[in-house]
């Protein structure tokens, strides 16, 4: 799934579909961020600075926590979804 695939969900009148779209958008962005951080760790990519890498890692933790919160909300609302796999 790509970000463009979430547009219909985000434009829905149903809050459950918008919540699902939000979840997938954050998961997609988090996956891309994790991929970049992993490439930095393997020397394949270089961040602008050590400070930038530190900020990206903090952002990644915040995104994981956000994903978990969205998963809890969807489970409580009985919304079916495919869980995001942490790399």
pLDDT of 13 reads: 98
pLDDT of 68 reads: 95
pLDDT greater than 70 at residue 87: no
- pLDDT tens digits, one per residue of 32-54: 999 999 999 999 999 999 999 99
pLDDT of 83 reads: 87
* Token pair in block for residue 25: 């958008």
pLDDT greater than 60 at residue 60: yes
| Neighbour-count burial of 27, counting CB atoms closer than 10 A to its CB (0-12 exposed, 13-18 middle, 19+ buried) | buried
| Neighbour-count burial of 40, counting CB atoms closer than 10 A to its CB (0-12 exposed, 13-18 middle, 19+ buried) | middle
pLDDT greater than 80 at residue 25: yes
């Amino acid at each position: 799934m790509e970000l463009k695939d979430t547009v219909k969900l985000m434009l829905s009148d149903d809050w459950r579909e918008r919540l699902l779209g939000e979840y997938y958008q954050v998961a997609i962005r988090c996956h891309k961020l994790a991929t970049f951080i992993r490439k930095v760790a393997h020397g394949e990519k270089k961040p602008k600075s050590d400070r930038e890498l530190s900020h990206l890692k903090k952002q990644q933790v915040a995104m994981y926590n956000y994903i978990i919160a969205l998963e809890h909300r969807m489970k409580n609302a009985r919304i079916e979804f495919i869980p995001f796999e942490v790399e």
